[in-house]
Amino acid sequence: MTLAYYPGCSMHGTSREYEESLLAVAAALGLDFAEIDDWSCCGASSAHAADHLLGVALPARNLALAEAQGADRVLAPCAACYNRLSGAAHAVAEEPGLAARVRDVLERPFANTVKVLSIVELLRGLAPAIEERVAARLEPDPLAHLSVATYWGCLLVRPPLATGFDDAEQPTGMDEVVAACGARPVRWNMAVECCGGAFSIARTSSVLRLSRAIIDDARRCGADAIVAACPLCHANLDFRQSAMSMKGAPPMPVLYITQLVGLALGLPLDLLGFDRHFVDTQPLLARLADDARRAAAGAAEREAARAAKAAARAQAGAAAATAAGGGGERTAPAGAVP
């Protein structure tokens, strides 16, 4: 089981905090992967709109490289890359004659044996390990009072036949990861609605309208933050938020799912790239730290109270036992409670 890593353009460019947090989390969870050597563009939203064969051949080239590298799975953290890579694998598997044409274009062997993994699929598989690590932490879980809206966008679970690792309308995988982190996933309405995607430049007003609906609903459903797994979604929700009229509502931090996992694992904040967001994450992080401090203090207080109570009970029990000659089992604790 060898895992290859396909960063695509965004992981090295616009969403460096996504890659930084991914690498930190991978190191913490002992996950080993190698970047595909000489990877190229997946074609993104342009290639498949221009030409079907081009739209398949561009991602297929990267799959062929991963294959040559001896990988049987490839991780594509960017939702658009994931969509193109898994879409190409599906098309080559399903369309008769396409595999031969693609090999022809690529001028290299391509057996289409590599499974394309999204970040959610990978982390969902690791959820038990994450949960175990969170439970093993000495200090109380910093995310215990955090409510997040898990935002999938359109590319991770659609089209269902090409992606297929979760339900297209009500996916649950991200919620499972969030729950493993100790945070609370809220039930909301916009998890798979469109943020406007690549129209961020061409039709900014549409993106503002669509993304605002998403942020509004997250707030209405009680989320403290949105968790995303797509650089484009993140850009629209985070970078464009200042341009949206929010009627005085506080800004909504937008985190990558890897950043949330990093927080849960207790990784140093400077490894997780929280300073790279447009919506300031500091108030949220401060609140979480505050919660954690209070929870720790509360726990210590409760522990002390419990110890005092136990001591009092032991004392009263001993007194009653001597008074009743050992027959006061029922009355002794009742008398000791007040």
- Residue ranges in contact with another protein by CB under 8 A: 160, 167, 169-170, 187, 189, 193, 217, 220
Q: What pairs with residue 149 in β-bridges?
A: 226
Q: Is 268:235 a contact under the CB 8 Å cutoff? A: no
Distance from C-alpha of 147 to C-alpha of 224, rounded to nearest angstrom = 5
Tell me the two tokens of residue 65.
């490289």
Cβ-based nearer residue to another protein, 220 or 306: 220
- Taking the complex as a whole, the smallest distance from the CB of residue 161 to another protein amounts, in Å, to 10
Nearer to another protein, 210 or 257 (CB): 210
Least distance to another protein, CB of residue 190, Å = 8
Give the nearer residue to another protein in terms of CB position, either 150 or 259.
Answer: 150
Residue 187 C-beta: closest distance to another protein, Å: 7
Contact (Cβ atoms closer than 8 angstroms) between residue 150 and residue 178: yes
Select 141 or 166, whichever has its Cβ closest to another protein: 166
CB of 169 to another protein, least distance (A): 5
Indicate the residue among 220 and 309 with the shorter CB distance to another protein. Answer: 220
33 vs 59, 70, 71, 91, 232, CA distance in Å?
19, 12, 9, 26, 24
In whole angstroms, the minimum distance from the beta carbon of 220 to another protein comes to: 7
Alpha-carbon distances, residue 41 vs 59, 87, 156, 208, 242 (angstroms): 7, 15, 18, 27, 30
Distance CA 80, CA 236 (A): 14
Name the minimum Å distance from CB 93 to another protein: 20
CB of 327 to another protein, least distance (A): 25
In the complex, what is the shortest distance from the CB of residue 162 to another protein, in angstroms, rounded to a whole number? Answer: 14
Helix (H) or strand (E) holding 35: strand 34-35
Rounded Cα–Cα distance for residues 234 and 228 (Å): 6
Which of 189/205 has CB closer to another protein? 189
Neighbours of 23 (CB within 10 A): 17
Residue 187 or residue 247: which is nearer to another protein going by CB? Answer: 187
Q: At which residue do the structure tokens 């090999």 appear?
A: 103
> How far, in Å, are 129, 181, 264, 310 from residue 177 at the CA level?
10, 6, 11, 38
184: enclosing H helix or E strand: strand 184-185
Residue 188 or residue 274: which is nearer to another protein going by CB?
Answer: 188
